[in-house]
């Protein structure tokens, strides 16, 4: 069973390159205080791991490529939106049979 934070932030399944949080743990600030949201790099890593990029056609599991041929910093906005839409649809489909869910 996943926690509410893991359902809200699916990127928690990726390790964080910024604060070195392990998969499943929340990101932390410089003084080891937990952050409300994961670091942007962790979100980008999750998007790149699970979604093909419609802008540069990079397959899931690889980073985006800039028009110059060099690696793109982060992910293209189109890829991030596609990942958010796919995750939202999957979450909606998984929660349809929950008896307590309001409709």
Give the SS3 label for residue 81.
helix
**Rounded CA gap, 20 and 38, in Å?**
11
Asked if residue 91 has pLDDT above 90, the reply is no
Asked if residue 94 has pLDDT above 80, the reply is no
Asked if residue 21 has pLDDT above 90, the reply is yes
Band (pLDDT 50/70/90 cuts) for residue 1 is very low
Asked if residue 78 has pLDDT above 50, the reply is yes
Is residue 68 a part of any domain in this protein?
Answer: yes
Is residue 22 a part of any domain in this protein?
Answer: yes
Is residue 102 a part of any domain in this protein?
Answer: no
Residues 11, 7, 3, 42: what is their CA dihedral angle, to the nearest 10 degrees?
10
Mean pLDDT in residue range 10-18: 91
Is residue 10 a part of any domain in this protein?
Answer: yes
Is residue 26 a part of any domain in this protein?
Answer: yes
Is residue 83 a part of any domain in this protein?
Answer: yes
Residue 98: per-residue pLDDT: 63
Asked if residue 97 has pLDDT above 70, the reply is no
- Indicate the range of 9-13, 41-45, 61-65 predicted with least confidence: 9-13
Residue 23 φ then ψ, to 5°: -55, 135
Q: Domain residues for 19?
A: 4-94
- Distance set, CA 58 to CA 31, 48, 55, 84 (Å): 36, 9, 8, 17
Is residue 40 a part of any domain in this protein?
Answer: yes
**Rounded CA gap, 49 and 64, in Å?**
11
**Rounded CA gap, 57 and 70, in Å?**
14
What is the domain count for the chain? 1
Is residue 32 a part of any domain in this protein?
Answer: yes
């Amino acid at each position: 069973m996943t926690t509410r934070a893991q359902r809200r932030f699916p990127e928690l399944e990726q390790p964080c390159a910024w604060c070195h949080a392990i998969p499943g743990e929340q990101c932390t600030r410089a003084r080891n205080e937990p952050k409300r949201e994961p670091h942007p790099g962790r979100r980008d890593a999750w998007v790149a791991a699970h979604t093909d990029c419609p802008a540069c056609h990079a397959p899931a599991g690889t980073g985006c490529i800039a028009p110059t041929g060099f690696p793109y910093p982060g992910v293209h906005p189109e890829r991030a939106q596609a990942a958010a839409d796919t995750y939202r649809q999957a979450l909606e489909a998984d929660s349809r049979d929950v008896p307590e869910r309001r409709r």
